[in-house]
Amino acid sequence: MNKPITSGSLDLLNFDNRYVRELPGDPIRENSRRQVAGACFSYVTPIKVRAPQLVSYSPEVATLLEMTPEMCQSDQFLQVFSGNALATGMEPYAMCYGGHQFGNWAGQLGDGRAINLGEIVNSQNQRWVLQLKGAGPTPYSRTADGLAVLRSSVREYLCSEAMHHLGVPTTRALSLIETGELVERDMFYNGNPQDEPGAIVCRVSPSFIRFGNFEIFASRGENTLLQQFLDYTIQTDFPHLGKPGRETYLEWFREVCRTTAELIVHWMRVGFVHGVMNTDNMSILGLTIDYGPYGWLEDYNPGWTPNTTDAHGKRYCFGNQPHIAQWNLVQLANAIFPVINDKEGLGEALDTYRQTFQQGWADCIAQKLGLRKYIAETDEQMANELFDIMNSVETDMTIFFRKLADFDSQEASDRPDPLALFKDSFYRSEQLTPDYRERLSAWLTRYRMRLQQNGIPDVQRKAEMNRVNPKYVLRNYLAQLAIDKAEKGDYSLVNELLDLLRNPYDEQPHREKYSEKRPEWARNRPGCSMLSCSS
Would you name the residues annotated as active-site residues?
280
**Nearest alpha carbon to residue 206 among 293, 285, 302:** 285
**CA neighbours within 13 Å on the CB side: how many for 225?**
20
Q: Cα dihedral angle (16, 17, 21, 23), rounded to 10 degrees?
A: 130
| Cβ partners under 8 Å of residue 484, min gap 6 | none
DSSP-assigned beta bridge partners for residue 457: none
DSSP state of 190: S
Instruction: Calculate the CA 361 to chain-centre distance.
Output: 18
**Nearest alpha carbon to residue 26 among 216, 210, 196:** 216
For residues 71 and 75, give the distance between their C-alpha atoms in angstroms, rounded to a whole number. 8
For residues 158 and 57, give the distance between their C-alpha atoms in angstroms, rounded to a whole number. 10
For residues 195 and 421, give the distance between their C-alpha atoms in angstroms, rounded to a whole number. 46
Q: CB burial class (10 A; 0-12, 13-18, 19+) of residue 370?
A: buried
Strand intervals (E) in 329-408? none
For residues 442 and 389, give the distance between their C-alpha atoms in angstroms, rounded to a whole number. 11
For residues 333 and 347, give the distance between their C-alpha atoms in angstroms, rounded to a whole number. 8
For residues 134 and 155, give the distance between their C-alpha atoms in angstroms, rounded to a whole number. 13
DSSP state of 411: P
Instruction: Calculate the CA 465 to chain-centre distance.
Output: 23
**Nearest alpha carbon to residue 135 among 114, 156, 149:** 114
**Residues 329 and 323 sit within 8 Å (Cβ to Cβ):** no
**Nearest alpha carbon to residue 535 among 39, 527, 460:** 527
Phi and psi at residue 531, in whole multiples of 5°? -135, 160
